[in-house]
């Protein structure tokens, strides 16, 4: 296997990731320690690019680091089934949906307060937004 070689900076650029983040992922075990030059510089290749892209895409989908470790274990080790991956994805979809619902409730509360503030030239003492935050039970709490 003769792959093209990449420095960490090149790997980071290919994956829209920071060098420090690659260091971090290696430290926490998401990325393997790569071979080095005689001078100690890391040397990466295509499989590293693919693995880091996998990690970044999973992060983008909101999977936590620990979950990504699980997903990578499914890949790295034999005898795992697509069903296990699907279950994780479905669980994640459920988490995302809950966040969306939460945020939509917050949005409603904010919009309600904004509507009440028809004029912006009242003193803060008479501000319905401030009143709401000080006294009323705000949806989303």
Sole binder of a second copy in the list 6, 16, 45, 66 (CB under 8 A) = 16
Question: For residues 21 and 53, which CB has a smaller minimum distance to DNA in the complex?
Answer: 21
Do the Cβ atoms of 40 and 83 come closer than 8 Å? no
The structure tokens listed for 119 are 């004029």
Contact between 59 and DNA by CB under 7 A: the answer reads yes
Contact between 23 and DNA by CB under 7 A: the answer reads yes
What 8-state DSSP symbol labels residue 32? P
Using left for φ > 0, alpha for ψ between -120 and 50, and beta otherwise, residue 4 falls in: beta
Q: How far is CA 133 from CA 109, 122, 130, 138, in A?
A: 11, 17, 5, 7
User: Angle at which helices 82-116 and 65-76 pack, to 10 degrees?
Assistant: 160
Q: x/- site string to a second copy, residues 43 to 82, per CB under 8 A?
A: -------x--xx-xxx-xxx--------x--xx----xxx
Interface residues with a second copy (CB under 8 A) are 16, 50, 53-54, 56-58, 60-62, 71, 74-75, 80-87, 89-90, 92-93, 96-97, 99-100, 103-104, 106-107, 109-111, 113-114, 117, 119-124, 126-130, 132-135, 138, 140-141
Interface residues with DNA (CB under 7 A) are 7-10, 12, 18-21, 23-24, 36-42, 59, 64-66
């Amino acid at each position: 296997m003769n792959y093209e070689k990449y420095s960490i900076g090149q790997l980071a650029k290919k994956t829209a990731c920071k060098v420090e983040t690659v260091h971090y992922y290696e430290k926490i075990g998401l990325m393997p320690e790569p071979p080095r030059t005689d001078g100690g510089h890391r040397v990466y290749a295509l499989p590293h690019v693919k693995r880091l892209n996998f990690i970044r895409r999973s992060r983008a989908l909101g999977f936590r680091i620990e979950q990504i470790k699980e997903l990578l274990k499914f890949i790295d080790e034999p005898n795992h089934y697509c069903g296990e991956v699907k279950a994780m994805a479905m669980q994640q979809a459920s988490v995302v949906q809950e966040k969306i619902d939460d945020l939509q409730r917050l949005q409603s509360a904010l919009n309600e307060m904004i509507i009440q503030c028809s004029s912006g030239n009242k003193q803060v003492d008479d501000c319905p937004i401030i009143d709401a935050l000080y006294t009323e039970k705000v949806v989303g709490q």
